[in-house]
Amino acid sequence: MARKVLISDKIEEVCPAALREAGIACDLKPGLPPEELLAAIPEYDGLIVRSATKVTAQVLEKGRAGKLRIVGRAGAGVDNIDVEAAGRLGVKVVNTPGLNSNAVAELTVAFAFMLARNLALADSTLKAGRWEKKSLSGFELSGKTFGLVGFGHVGRLVCAKAKGLGMRVLACDPLVPAEEARAAGAEPVSLEELWKEADFISLHLPKNKDTLNLVDARVLASFKPTACLINCARGGLVDEAALFEALSRKSIAGAAFDVFAAEPPLGSPLLDLPNFIAAPHLGASTLEAQLGVARKSAELLAEFFRAQG
């Protein structure tokens, strides 16, 4: 039976090439407006998305009334897919966890270096014609404590890199046995211990009702005044208004975010703070990660269709 897949976000050419090699027809239509997606989706057996396309219940219902049986997300999370509606309608959802983990882990450590050495300020002030060497003195990562909230694929890679830099690593993840965390090089601790002891606190969690605004004003008040917060996981894990207050008062030293509650975060007061570093959701934006998730997405859909006969 001939199968047909729609790819509605920008993706590496390896994805459509792999689908075609498997005998699956595909249409690459990045940036498809929601109304056009609704009109087109019934004629496709599968859909592959990145982050831009919102796979709503309405999209899934329209697709399921036609030929749609599977949605693939070329990335780790499925925040832009209504998974509950997919389950109810019998549409399979697959994603590619782990393939962009190293890219996110490297960005996390890069942020730690930037915060420790004031590199963002050093760059901007020098380009503005100011030589502020004395005021931009920083500190070394070696001997400091890295706290990881979440100890999955990315957390473990950050742990290995931090240990290589001579850092102590704390980890809190109720789903990971203490002996497993220790074997990976981290000290398992409670959240309260991690908040209080870490010099760098990095979040590696999904966003759900339990983690939304996990880092609020109360939590931020328990940080060391020299602590820095890093979030390359999901927007919404941090109360951004509370973080703005903490950074403005300098009750914590700094923060670096790749993700925000609303993206793009235009107008966010955080962007005006000198002790806040921002990136436009670049965690998985490496050639290696993009190729990996693109190839794997095609493989997952091909395997599904083969099993269906």
pLDDT in tens, 236-279: 999 999 999 999 999 999 999 999 999 999 999 999 999 999 99
Supply the pLDDT for residue 203: 98
pTM (2 d.p.): 0.88
Examine the domain organization and report whether 57 and 106 are in the same domain: no
Residues 252 and 115 in one domain: yes
Same domain, 75 and 115: no
* Residue pair 234/205 in contact by the 8 Å Cβ criterion: yes
Q: Please determine, for residue 1, whether its predicted confidence score (pLDDT) is greater than 80.
A: no
| Residue 309 confidence (pLDDT) above 90 | no
- Asked if residue 273 and residue 151 are part of one domain, the reply reads yes
Alpha carbons 173 and 100: distance in angstroms, whole number: 20
Q: What is the mean pLDDT of residues 111-125?
A: 97
pLDDT of 15 reads 97
* Residue tagged active-site, from 43, 84, 140, 263: 263
Give me the number of domains the chain comprises. 2
State the catalytic residue, choosing from 69, 234, 240, 295: 234
- Asked if 148 and 297 sit in the same domain, the reply is no
Active site includes 234?
A: yes
SS3 267: coil
Residue of 187, 193, 281, 299 with catalytic role:
281
Q: Which residues contact 192 (CB under 8 A, 6 or more apart)?
A: 222
281 is catalytic: yes
pLDDT above 90: residue 64: yes
What confidence tens digit (pLDDT) does each residue in 172-231 have?
A: 999 999 999 999 999 999 999 999 999 999 999 999 999 999 999 999 999 999 999 999
Tell whether 126 and 14 lie within a shared domain.
Answer: no
Summarize pLDDT for 273-308 with one digit per residue, the tens: 999 999 999 999 999 999 999 999 999 999 999 998
Q: Is residue 84 among the annotated active site residues?
A: no
According to DSSP, residue 160 is labeled H
The crossing angle, in degrees rounded to 10, of helices 287-308 and 14-21 is 20
Same domain for 172 and 251, yes or no, is yes
Name 86's bridge partners: none
Whether residues 18 and 88 share a domain: the answer is yes
| Structure confidence at residue 51 (pLDDT) | 87
Contacts of 199 (CB under 8 A, 6+ apart): 144, 145, 146, 147, 224, 226, 227, 228
Range of the domain at 37: 4-99+288-308
Asked if 169 and 244 sit in the same domain, the reply is yes
Residue 114: pLDDT over 80: yes
Q: Is residue 260 part of a domain?
A: yes
Looking at the domain assignment, is residue 116 inside a domain?
A: yes
Q: In terms of domains, do 91 and 110 share one?
A: no
pLDDT tier at 97 (50, 70, 90 boundaries)? confident
The pLDDT of residue 79 is 85
Count, in order, helices (H) and strands (E) of the chain.
12, 12
- State the CATH number of the domain containing residue 172: 3.40.50.720
Is residue 274 a part of any domain in this protein? yes
Q: Model confidence over 152-164: pLDDT tens digits? A: 999 999 999 999 9
Sheet architecture: strand order including 25-28: 25-28, 4-7, 46-49, 70-73, 92-95
